[in-house]
Each structure stands twice: as C-alpha cells, then as structure tokens.
A and B are shown apart, each in its own frame.
Chain A
C-alpha cells in the first residue's frame, strides 16, 4: 500500500517499521496517505484537477457538520456555505469568535516572496520540512506555501488590518529563526484579527441562513453508519439536553490537545473530546507525542494557576536568560553579582545564544529549573533580563518595542520588567500531532475530515513559528472546500441516517450513558484535581525530556489514575442545565485515555526528532533522528476490551505512514 511508485524518491525509510519498544503495542499496516505521485510541487494542482465537483443545484442537498469555529472551522464552514452546501457549525464557546486561534500573537507566514531577500516557495518548503525535522509531508508543505498567497489576499480583503509599510505595501517581519522576512502580522494580535475576520465571514453565512450555528454546544460523540461519519451527537451546554445532527460529512476543527498537560498556553476550555471520541471509533491518531513547548511563558505563580500566558519570543532579541550559579539562591536578582550568574544559553550555545530555537531553549531552561537553579517564589522560572538592552538602547526604545508585553507582565505579575528581570518558564503550547489525515484531510473514517491543529499534517515533529495560523487558514478556506466537495460528489443520491435509525440512536445512547456515568460516580475528588494530577504525571514523564523510564512510569501512573477517576470522581449538579463541572469531567475522562497514548507513542518512537526528545538519543543536547527506522508518521488505533466497563484498559496498534522526500534532503540540525 505504500507509495512505492513515487519515481523521484531520494530518501525513504530503508527498513520496514520496527517492532514497538512499548509493551503490548501491536504493529499495524503501512498506510497510504493518497499523496499524488510525482513532483510534490505540482501535486496539489494535479489533485485539484482530479477532484469531482457537485452541481450548484445539488449542493443544498448535502449537509456538513463542522465542529469548532477557529480559523480552520470557521473558514471551512463559511467557504462550504458560500458554495451552497448546508452547514451546521458547532462551538463550545458562547460565540464562534472566541475560538483559541484568537490568541496567536506573532504572525502568519506566506510564501509570497515579494522582496529581494531571495525568499521563494522552495525556501518556504525547506524551512517548514526542516523545522518539522523531516517527520512531515513534503507535498503538503508545498501546498501550504502555494495556498499561503491566497490566504493573505483573502484575509486582507475580509478585514484583517495587516501591518503596512509607509508606501502602502504589506509589511513583513522575520520570525522563528528563519533567514528571510515572510511573516505578515497585525501588531502582536495577528491571530485575533484573522480569527475575527473568519468569524465575520461565518456570521455572514449565518445571516444568509446557509450556516446553522450552534454555540455553547459540545460534541460528545460521532454518528457512524456503515463505517462512515454521518453526523454528531452534541450537548447543549445551556439546557444540558443531548441532540443529534445528521450530516453527509463531518469536519473536526477542534484544535490541539495541549490542555492534557493541565497547564498550557491554550484556553482553559480547549479539549480533545471530539477528536478522542472519533479516535475511539476508528480515526487514527497521528504522532500524539509531538507536542511543542514554548520557552517564554509566564511561570506558575500560585498553586491555583489555571494556565500559563505566552510572552512573545521576540523578547529574546533583547533579553538575556540567566539563573543564579548557586542552587536555591534566595537573593533578589539585583543583589546577585555578575560573577554569580549563569547565562546558560550563551554558555551552552555560543553561536545562537539567547536566540536558540524553541525546543533547545525550553529544554535548557527546564534543566536549570530541575537542577535547583530556578528563581521566583516557587523556584520554577529563569530570568529573562532586559537590563543590558536598556543600558545599551535606552529605556524608551525597549518600552516602545515591547510595551504591550511588558504591560501584560506588569498586570499579571505585579512587577516592573523595566526594573527587575522577567521570570519565564517553558510550557505546553502546540500539538503537531492530532487525528491522522490523508493528503485530502480525510481521517481513516470515511466522511470525517480534520482541519487545523486537530489534525497531524504539515508540521511533522516541530512547528515553525507563524505556520500555525497559516495551516489552519489553508485547511479551512482552501483545502477542505475542494476535498469535501469531492467526497460529497460521490454521495449524490444517498440518504443521511434518520434520527431514529440505529446509527443515530446508538451514538445518542452512548453519549447519554457516558454523561449519566460521570454523574453517578459521586466520589470524593473533583475533575480538576484529576486533571492537575494528570498534568503533573505528563509533564514529568512525557514533557520536554522523555526517557524509557520516565515514560513507563507515567504510563503506569496514568492507568492507575484513570481507574481511580471512574471510581472516585465527584460531579455535583445535574445533567440538565448549565453544569461546568460535568463538562470538565467529560473532558478529563478523555484526556485520561489520550494521555496514555501520548506516552505510548513517545515510548514507541525510539529516536529523538524535533520536539520529541528522548534523552537516550542525543548528541550534546541535540536531537538525534533515526531516519533508517523511523522516517514515518505513526498513526495509532486504540481498542478497548469488551469488558471495558469494569476493566478500563486500552490496546494500541501503531500503523505507519512512510515519508518520502523528493526535493529536500534530510539533514541534522545544529545550533552550537
């Protein structure tokens, strides 16, 4: 089933996927990602020519359910509705505008290559594929770059006020260690402006009646008929009632699962339930262990902290990272003389210093914290010190550059970053992994499409800065409309399941029973307590550094915690009406299953690559890939035994999608 017919394949795995180092894992088949054969640069064009279309008069006969209204979901819903399909859009927030795409700060990359800095589509693809440490698809990186041009034009036209040069042309900045300037931005709130623009276009279709919008509605389960996705079971978060929406195709654009770590830069409501429910019904989960940690987050300041706020990496352009040389040093930063400070990034990575890539900086910071050099009241941060830059450039210049960040720090921490060093710590930020999809963004369940951070495409083992807004926008506006229409064209004349069909009723009853079960345990620990505990296990066992030992420990802990959860969780209130404790419990229940697979994938992948750092596989702190054995994307299937109700153990099967690189040669990163 592999793409062995690919003619120009220069690099590919030399041996079949190895057996798993994780106990109990079965090795499955090799997957075909349905990438067009031949030159990856023209793949998308050729694929679009192959796609079928639906006659405009027939389009209103089809219903598409879109879950999630971020950049990918709102884009796909609006674009499909513009084409004339009937769309049902769901979001758990009170308004579709609030999806977490809104929090992205830095910008959006595009391979427009207008300047004479010698940027090009090729260079964009190289950066994306290399950034992903050769664990993403080359042909998709091309598609990302090619459609990026239309994304910028579309976003500009529908209201995103991109920064402009005084001459009127779009301004760009360089971002995330890329040597050219291809990041388009609106101050430090690019995600907000793109998200609001997409939201507005969605609302335009809502007004036109082509999109039926269901805010404050959470997906609980997937309706399956004859092995294909045919709708969703949802809970109205206001009335608490459970409803069914049948559809010809379902799009999940539900974002990443970073909140499985409890603390992350994600919104507190972000969850993996929709994706995990689909996974349990047969949608493979791709590379779940590929999680990006961001080096410059505000540290945890109280035991009650609910999330970590991201501080843009741009601060590292002028800030120096340091910790006291002496472990447990309680002195105020100003009282620690220069000779007793360790500028650890400058020391370890003299070439890149404070501008070392995200994963390296994050690991170096955690190393300092773990070895007792952490600063702040909870000894869980390192300093990012602007003092030298203030001395060199003057306080005004620094304030102008970073005023919004410094002001946010001032509000959040209550200290003046112009006077005392900023405290930062690495934290969970983005999940490259997600539901496995083929080149058409369809999961292993026919009719179930996945867009944006919820899928595992584009970014491989590590995402390049400013590529997340891009991939979500490309999926939503410029891939899913084509791919979903192609799929629907094949369904012309076929009926959707009736509301009283077995397909709908079984999913409906599953969701009801699960909700009932959560309410009936009536134990002693709150869902949040389980979530926090799970986060601790994951952060220690499957965080920045992973080892055989840490992962096996974490897997054991997670399994035990999951059993405890179903015996001891305490959910007050009722199933009807607003019940946020119940919502939380349902999400945590799914996290407790996902977390195990996350660790199993990390244990299984016996190499380091990108954000996945196995301490067994490193050369002087650098990830060492094993292209001979691991140049494939893992796509996991999870099965539960028949007696799962009394024996909540999960069985995992790892399928493999071999990766091929035609135009770009795999190489090792080096930042020393």
Chain B
C-alpha cells in the first residue's frame, strides 16, 4: 500500500533539478523566395496569360467572318507597326513576354507544389467533393496538360511541324497568310478537333480557379469587389471555353470549311 508522501519523501535519485524548457519563438526566417511573393508572381503571370487568351479568342472568332478577313487579321498581326517597326516585331515581343510568363508561372507552381507537399507531411488531407476543391486539386494536372497543348498548338498551326500539323500546312509568305486554310485543315481531322475541345475544357478549369485565386492574391476584400471580380473570372473562363471550342465543332459539322 502506498499513501500520500507528505511527511516522508522517498529518497528518489538525488539529482540536481533542471529548469524547464521554454517555448521557442520563430527564429531567423529562411532566406528564400517567399510563398506570398511566388503566389503574387503566379497571379500576375497567370492574369497576363488569361488576358492573352481572351484577346486570342477575339482574333479566333474572326474565323466566322470568312477566310479573307481571318487571313488578313493573321497578316496584320505580323505586320502591325510597319514601317516604324520591322515585320514580326509585335509578335515577337508578345512571344517573349508570354514565354517569360510561362517560365515564371511554371517555376512558381513547381516550387509551391513542392513546398505544399512538404508542409502537408506524411498524410494527405481528405478533400471535399466540391468544384472549388476539385479545380484546386487539378491545377497542377491541368497546368501540365495545357503546357503540352500549347506546344502541340504551336507545332500544329504556327510552325507546321508534321505530323502534328496537317499535311496541307502552308507557311505564311511575305505578302500572304494561310491561317484559315491551315485551321480548317487541322480541325478537319477529328482527333485534332477533339483534342482542341478537350484542351479548352482544361484551360477553362485552370483559368477559372486561377483567376478566382488572383482575386485573393491581389488582396481584394470588399464584398462587392470580390463578387464582381469572381464573376469576371468565371465569365472569362466560360467565354474562352465556348468561343474557342465552337470553332473545331463548327469545322467538324461543316459550318466552316
């Protein structure tokens, strides 16, 4: 039997007691690119990308005005600013800016993805089955597919690398563009048309969640401001999807030829 050891403490190991350990505050922070800065970079480059997609969409929709106007537009893109600027200068500026954006966006995404894995630890969180959560989950995947699609798209309709490009691909000349003919030729291949439509779905998912994230990454906190910006984000994605996807569908259905 044992009892409260008030009067007679047992002679437990007579060691000199130590002071208790104390709570450690956050020390010198790691010297590395901060997450918030990477997020900001992704938000800005992503927004530029989305803007490019929106402008690209307006150009694409000229296809419904007929071959002549569409080819004229393609020609104009290469010669805008002449004679002050040499030919192709605007196109190249755009290409360089976009390429840099893609590099920054993809590197930011990769660093953040790796950091998120690490922060998450050994056990993955169970996700709820909501659209928001799914699209967030799919961001890296949709991103990788979109990157692959962009390369395919360049090979198909810009560089004309066969067999990705159609057999009848025609390089533009100093005086003429054949964008319309190339487009019809490419989309007349059902596999290509379907992959374009599929890519648009992925782009829409990526852009909608991306732009939604931008609203917060740029610090929009007002209720109305957020509502407007989030609506714009969603609408942008929908327009990109419907507008662009309509073209291969129209080609397959014979509306465009």
Contact = CB atoms under 8 A, between A and B. Distances in A.
A and B in direct contact, judged by CB atoms within 8 A: yes
Contacts of B14: 505, 509
A243 B17 contact: yes
A499 B16 contact: yes
A642 interface: yes
A596 to B, nearest CB: 13
B7 interface: yes
A540 interface: no
Nearest to B18: A243
B5 A510 contact: yes
B12 interface: yes
B4 interface: yes
B21 to A, nearest CB: 7
A244 B7 contact: no
Residue among B5, B12, B17, B19 with max Cβ neighbours from chain A (10 Å): B17
Nearest to A233: B17
A349 B188 CA distance: 91
A449 to B, nearest CB: 20
B76 to A, nearest CB: 59
B36 interface: no
Contacts of B19: 243-245, 499
Contact of A206 (B5, B9, B17, B23): B23
Interface stretch (A102-110, A516-524, A607-615): A516-524
B8 interface: yes
A212 interface: yes
Interface stretch (A20-28, A256-264, A644-652): A644-652
Contacts of B7: 640-645
Contacts of B2: 517, 520-521, 566-567
A567 B1 contact: yes
A321 B12 CA distance: 58
A517 B6 CA distance: 11
A641 B6 CA distance: 9
B10 interface: yes
A645 to B, nearest CB: 5
A512 B12 contact: yes
Residue among A207, A504, A514, A645 with max Cβ neighbours from chain B (10 Å): A645
Interface stretch (A164-172, A213-221, A387-395, A404-412): A213-221
B22 A212 contact: yes
Contact of A509 (B4, B9, B20): B9
Contact of B23 (A213, A513, A641, A644): A213
B30 interface: no
A234 interface: yes
Contacts, number: 99
Contacts of A90: 20
Nearest to A207: B25
Contacts of A643: 7
A217 B22 CA distance: 10
A280 B5 CA distance: 13
Given A214-B23, A215-B23, A513-B12, A645 B4 contact: yes
Contact of B17 (A88, A215, A504, A646): A504
A32 interface: no
Interface residues of A, number: 45
B3 interface: yes
Interface string A412-433: 0000000000000000000000
Contacts of B18: 241, 243-244, 499
A281 B7 CA distance: 12
Given A505-B14, A509-B14, A214 B21 contact: yes
A644 B5 CA distance: 8
Interface string A618-657: 0000000000000000000000111111101000000000
Residue among A215, A241, A505, A509 with max Cβ neighbours from chain B (10 Å): A509
B49 to A, nearest CB: 41
A236 B4 contact: no
Contacts of A236: 20-21
Contacts of B16: 499-500, 505
Contacts of A517: 2-5, 10
A566 B20 contact: no
B20 A245 contact: yes
B4 A589 contact: yes
A242 interface: yes
Contacts of B12: 509, 512-513, 516
A506 interface: yes
Contacts of A215: 23
A508 interface: yes
A645 B3 contact: yes
Q: Which 6 A-B pairs have the closest CB atoms?
A: A243-B20, A244-B17, A213-B23, A513-B5, A212-B22, A513-B9
Interface of B: 1-12, 14, 16-23, 25
Given A243-B19, A499-B18, 9 more contacts: A206-B23, A213-B23, A241-B18, A243-B17, A244-B17, A512-B9, A517-B10, A567-B1, A644-B7
25 contacts: A88-B22, A209-B25, A215-B23, A241-B18, A243-B17, A243-B20, A243-B21, A245-B19, A504-B17, A505-B17, A509-B10, A509-B11, A509-B14, A510-B6, A510-B9, A514-B4, A517-B4, A517-B5, A566-B4, A640-B6, A643-B7, A645-B3, A645-B6, A645-B7, A648-B4
